Structure 1
Amino acid sequence: MKRALAISIGTGLVAAAALALPLAQANAAAVGSATGFAAANGGTTGGNGGTTVRATTGTAIHTALCTRASASTPITIEVEGTINHGNTAKVSGDSCNTAAGVIELKEISNVTIIGVGGGAIFDQLGIHIRDSSNIIIQNVTVRNVKKSGSPTSNGGDAIGMESTVRNVWVDHVTLEASGGESEGYDGLFDVKNDVEYVTLSYAILRNSGRGGLIGSSETDTGSGNITFHHNKYENIDSRTPLLRGGIAHIYNNHYVSLNESGINSRAGAKAKVDNNYFEDSKDVLGTFYTDAAGYWQVSGNIFDNVTWSSPGTDNNPAGPNPVSNTTVSVPYSYTLDNASCVPSIVALTAGANKGIKTSTGTCSTTSQPSSSPTTSPSTSPSTSASPSPSTSTSPTSPSGTNLSIGAGSDGSSKASGTSYGNVRDANLATYWSPNGTTGDISIKWDAAKTISRINIRETSGGGAIGAYQVLNGATGAVLTSGSGSGVISFTATSTTKITFKINSASGTPRVGEFETYAS
């Protein structure tokens, strides 16, 4: 049974009919528990222990906040559907301080916002957290938030926090844009002006000029104690993140196609950078665009096809052989996945509407929780650069271990928006394409492997592969040739590199996965 609440907005009335009565489970909460810095300082529990309501509009979200007994009364707001400017109005009340055109979590505490059902998409509408504490945001997509053009929201930030914010856990979200500042977008995940004890986990951040920042200027150094783990940053120009002052713990993240720079530690910031996987990127760690030095402690990271610029007055890249220049301690326990399996683990767990799986810390994942709020996949954003996964044209994959997971990769060329690493991330929604109808892609290892079978899995939307050759990439010897894709067998060969060479195709092909097997 639902009730319609008539809310006065200016001179008119808006019916917040999407707000449901509290659900039966009075103790509903986010799936799992906060990790990293969000688990410190007393922990982050959001609306745990309070009532649960369902909302399908932004106005209903604001109404749920405004009709609480107080600004600190615990509440979980389950969100389903598309939240946009047309259904997000300002709502007034003693327990809230909201605004139209943005989800405003201002001067409040003890709130969980969680996507359920077919998914929650905040379309061109940002989430703004200000002067608040104990907030959880889980299992939502926020896309195409603009600071210029039309419509605008939240200063162009997908999720933004500022001014005395404490204990926020943002988990299993997808944050994306469709360009950089010139197209009207700003950061995907920005914090500034005294924000502490925050964790961003199992998130996808993609297709943006700016990933995010901690501190808005060289003098705004009062924020910190922030953890980033098991996130995927893809096709980002810079700021993954930009750090000014404070401490950030950055571990088990997968970075692909960082086009200008990555983790930018400056103005005295200290970054603890553990067991991350960086690939097909430039200047992934250092101090950039300033002479205000920052610091880092590095261990266990993999740098795969990463290029580094030369040091200069305003440029201090950590590579090509990154070493620590500080030490950093954190006040919580954590378990690291080996960096070699980070691409596959992150592919299986990060982002909204994946069942809220997590890593076990042993290069494997948990099963989908029975309490997962996701019951069906949401529609992918129309602006996403990644196609929907398709069924492989090959027969059942060979038995045994796919040796491509954790390996390296390179090739002859790559079309814009694609990556060599996409063929070994266990995710058919990502792919590699050559520049044209022909080209080659390789899987490589530090030590020789014996390979006798590969599986080429195409992703829909590309040209069909015609003639091919499989080469011993270390010697150039042809192991076999044929046409099409799928499982390809050949005489067992010990090598450090296997190459799949496409000699013809009906159009630009898309290789989603290049699996390799010993037998």
Structure 2
Amino acid sequence: MATSTRSRRTARALVTASAALMLMIPSTAVAGPGGTHGPRDTHPRDPAITDRQVLPDDDGWASAGGGTTGGAEANEEHVYDVSTRTELVNALADTGDEPAIIRVHGTIEVNADENGDPLTCEEIAEGTGYILEEYLEAYDPETWGRDRKPDGEMEEAREAAEQKQRALVDIRIPSNTTLIGAEEGAGLTGANLTVSGVHNVIIRNLVLADTYDCFPSWDPTDGDEGAWNSEYDSVRIVDGATNIWVDHNAFTDEPMTDDKLPTYFGQTFQRHDGALDVTNGSDLVTVSWNSFSDHDKLTLVGSTDSADRGDPGKLRVTFHHNLYEGVGQRAPRARWGQVDVYNNHYVITDDQTVDYGYSLGVGHESHLWVEANAFDITGDTQPGQLLSFLRGEVIVTEGNLVNHRQVDLLAEYNANADEDEQLAEDTSWEPTLRACEHKVQHVAGVVDAWAGPEFGPAPGRLHGGC
């Protein structure tokens, strides 16, 4: 099986190293309107990862509709260097939808006070009345039962604490913005980056780690045994946002992966939700060269089977050259949109931090085109399990490799699926916006080498020829 050392390096080592890198930022920088103007790159940058890089022509759905340029045209007054949550929020508020570049230095902990000092969940909850032990006592199924959701004083206290945390972690990105890591290991911990109803945004070169909910809600009616449900995604593209490019980032639940979470009422105290979701009528999105590791419910494209969220005719998303390692499900799960999934590398093992369910979810009215991806699997996972029927009807799967062998994923799925869950070949569309394509035999090596944040000079032609 092909190893994925690139993901291990970006999703683990960079998270650890980034705290130390904060010490490299000069303390004498002159304050600007939204952060600091002064500190510049402390590490040589890959030529392709530049502040003013725009999405190339024909590079996925985000290159349609006039293309995606982010803050490439920003003047010097709208170039910000930030190293704390307060500086980041101030910079975003200062842009006024003018083209802006926001360069992140070090690790920004968003569950933090105005000075950037991290806050514990207990500190965030102060003044709300929420105490976990009392919440558990109040809604223990042995006394509360399993036929109604929590209500009353302690649930109200949990909701109040949740709102306090939301005010910290929900970071909203305006139109015409590039948010980019400025040095090796730069990123955000605990952030819920929200791209809502805006246009022309680029998110690049960041370690996006452990987006966590301090105050998960208990729902005893969720399934046969009840479940803990959490809020927040590392990146949320919602409410009709268009022309969004998410590129060369590392998404991870480190350091608090699901296998380290406690269990209450027999269920994991789940503090993670999604990693990257595209929902509610958003459109024209390219997700490229990212590493995703150690996360369960990864990516939704479309959040509901209902048409009242504005999804029909929208949710056109491209996923290419991403590394999925140790992911449980939803890579992606699609509804409604035309979703192009090509040249990605999936690594599925029997010792993941989350149990494996499936990779590609075929949801209501979805149109997934899955081509020239490489799957490396060990343990009991079979090729027919890579797809999941989720009330969809059609899909295209062409030229994909499983353990270095070409496999017809659709045929493998149908051979093992019930009669009422069979999938047909989609003949309704065909992707055309593919500026960078590799032969499937090269995908694993190229993606492992280049997915995730990149620094240092590129040897020869970048990305194996793209």
Q: What TM-score, normalized by structure 2, do the two folds share?
A: 0.64
Q: 1:22 to 1:119 in 2, by over 3 A?
A: closer
1:58 paired residue number:
85
Q: Report Cα offsets for 1:208-267 as digits up to 9, x if no partner.
A: 111211111211544411000000111111101000111001110001117211111221
3-state DSSP of counterpart to 1:224: coil
- Aligned-residue Cα RMSD (Å) equals 3.5
3-state DSSP of counterpart to 2:448: helix
Q: 1:81 to 1:335 in 2, by over 3 A?
A: closer
1:235 paired residue number:
326
3-state DSSP of counterpart to 1:183: coil
Contact map agreement 2:53 2:69 (CA 8 A) in 1: no
3-state DSSP of counterpart to 1:118: coil
Contact map agreement 1:349 1:359 (CA 8 A) in 2: no
Q: 1:300 aligns with which of 385, 388, 399?
A: 399
Q: Report Cα offsets for 1:453-482 as digits up to 9, x if no partner.
A: xxxxxxxxxxxxxxxxxxxxxxxxxxxxxx
2:431 paired residue number:
330
One-letter amino acid of the structure 1 residue matched with residue 105 of structure 2: E
Q: 1:86 to 1:286 in 2, by over 3 A?
A: closer
1:40 paired residue number:
64
Contact map agreement 2:367 2:395 (CA 8 A) in 1: yes
State the structure with bigger RCO (CA 8 A, min sep 6), 1 or 2.
2
Q: 1:125 aligns with which of 172, 191, 201?
A: 191
Q: How many residues align?
A: 335
Q: Report Cα offsets for 1:359-389 as digits up to 9, x if no partner.
A: 969x8257xxxxxxxxxxxxxxxxxxxxxxx
- CA–CA distance in 1 between the matches of 2:203 and 2:457? 13
1:271 paired residue number:
368
CA apart distance, 1:314: 7.0
1:348 paired residue number:
449
Q: What does residue range 360-371 of structure 1 map to in structure 2 within 5 Å?
A: 364-365=464-465
Q: 1:356 to 1:324 in 2, by over 3 A?
A: farther
Contact map agreement 1:44 1:168 (CA 8 A) in 2: yes
Q: What TM-score, normalized by structure 1, do the two folds share?
A: 0.58
- CA–CA distance in 2 between the matches of 1:209 and 1:169? 23
Q: 1:22 to 1:44 in 2, by over 3 A?
A: farther
Q: 1:240 to 1:349 in 2, by over 3 A?
A: same
Moved more, 296-305 or 47-56: 296-305
Q: Decide which structure has greater helix share.
A: 2
Q: Does 1:189 align with 2:276?
A: yes
- CA–CA distance in 1 between the matches of 2:275 and 2:460? 24
Q: Does 1:100 align with 2:191?
A: no
One-letter amino acid of the structure 1 residue matched with residue 167 of structure 2: A
Q: Report Cα offsets for 1:475-516 as digits up to 9, x if no partner.
A: xxxxxxxxxxxxxxxxxxxxxxxxxxxxxxxxxxxxxxxxxx
- CA–CA distance in 2 between the matches of 1:190 and 1:359? 34
1:166 paired residue number:
242
CA apart distance, 1:298: 2.2
One-letter amino acid of the structure 2 residue matched with residue 324 of structure 1: E
Contact map agreement 1:46 1:112 (CA 8 A) in 2: yes
One-letter amino acid of the structure 2 residue matched with residue 346 of structure 1: V
3-state DSSP of counterpart to 2:425: coil
Q: Does 1:73 align with 2:80?
A: no
Q: 1:249 to 1:360 in 2, by over 3 A?
A: farther
Q: 1:141 to 1:171 in 2, by over 3 A?
A: same
Contact map agreement 1:84 1:101 (CA 8 A) in 2: no
- CA–CA distance in 2 between the matches of 1:73 and 1:22? 22
- CA–CA distance in 1 between the matches of 2:90 and 2:402? 47
Q: Decide which structure has greater strand share.
A: 1
Contact map agreement 2:362 2:393 (CA 8 A) in 1: yes
